[in-house]
Amino acid sequence: MSQLKILSLGAGVQSSTLFLMACFDEIERFDHAIFADTGWEPEPVYRWLKYLKKQGKKHGIPIHTVSQGNIRNDILINQVRGTKKDGRRWASMPLFVLAPDGKKGMIRRQCTYEYKIRPIERKQRELAGYKPRKRMPPGTIECWKGISTDEAKRAVVSDRKWISFYYPLIEMRMRRSDCLAWFLKRGLPEPPRSACVGCPFRHNSEWMDLKNNSIKDFKDAILVDKVIRKIGGMRGDVFLHADRIPLDEVVFNKNGNQPSLFNDECAGICGV
């Protein structure tokens, strides 16, 4: 079987640029695109995904949606970090912890691998015609990723011999701002930022955007933030925001200390 070219579609600015460039024959075409749905994406992302699927159907590039479950529901039923009520494993989010003595910590992030990378790899194997655990020849899949030059540190070499990573935006020397300019030049709507509603790596400006433009999603994030306060098997309180105070009490200013998703490696999947 010849090598399959598959786009890892986060439905954010960069990966959407690659997808539509391929649709419009501005770059070489890949065979498939895969979107990993955590079940807790903002509404604008789901609306945008419908638009991309319509374009893909029109231009002959299918988008496959895969899922490892609903990360929101999983965090709400979690009682001890690493397990669920029914005994199944729960992949932890990088939540912020405040201990009784004032010490600050952070829960290890497992969610990107469990809810994004793993289901995408499973679908890649399926599309290539290989059953689980069956050996795949080196380079069977060329996985395209929407990482731009301003995020080049997120570009890594695959640790799977059967997958090779390809970064077209870096090859074309395109920054995220160039991607936005590409949409503007063609009169296309600007894609939303793609990240879970309650992602702790949202920058303050992204929280503010959610609060102002996705009111329902922001209220849901506030609800989840309150529920997680005492869960996780941690010695201390757990929060979505780095200020380690309830989300509805946070003042979202540009000088806040909330880490940005786009300065984190996130395996080149979340946020792009």
Answer yes or no: CATH 3.30.1890 is held by domain 4-268.
no
Element (H, E) at 204: helix 204-213
Q: For the chain, first and last CA: distance in Å?
A: 29
pLDDT, tens digit (0-9, with 9 covering 90-100), for 35-74: 999 999 999 999 999 999 999 999 999 999 999 999 999 8
* Whole-structure pTM value: 0.89
- HEC secondary structure over 4-23: EEEEECCCCHHHHHHHHHHH
The predicted pLDDT at position 193 comes to 85
Helix locations, the chain, DSSP H: 13-23, 43-59, 71-77, 111-112, 118-128, 168-171, 176-185, 204-213, 215-227
pLDDT, tens digit (0-9, with 9 covering 90-100), for 79-130: 444 455 555 556 688 999 999 999 999 988 889 999 999 999 999 999 999 9
The predicted pLDDT at position 264 comes to 45
Banded model confidence at residue 262, pLDDT cuts 50, 70, 90: very low
The predicted pLDDT at position 208 comes to 93
Q: Which two tokens stand for residue 128?
A: 């290539």
pLDDT, tens digit (0-9, with 9 covering 90-100), for 153-211: 999 999 999 999 999 999 999 999 999 999 999 999 999 988 899 999 999 999 999 99
The predicted pLDDT at position 61 comes to 98
Contact by Cβ (8 Å): 110, 235? no
The predicted pLDDT at position 213 comes to 87
Residue 140 predicted with pLDDT over 70 = yes
Residue 254 predicted with pLDDT over 70 = no
Banded model confidence at residue 233, pLDDT cuts 50, 70, 90: low
Residues whose CB is less than 8 angstroms from the CB of residue 132 and which lie 6 or more positions away in sequence, other chains included: 122, 125
Residue 259 predicted with pLDDT over 90 = no
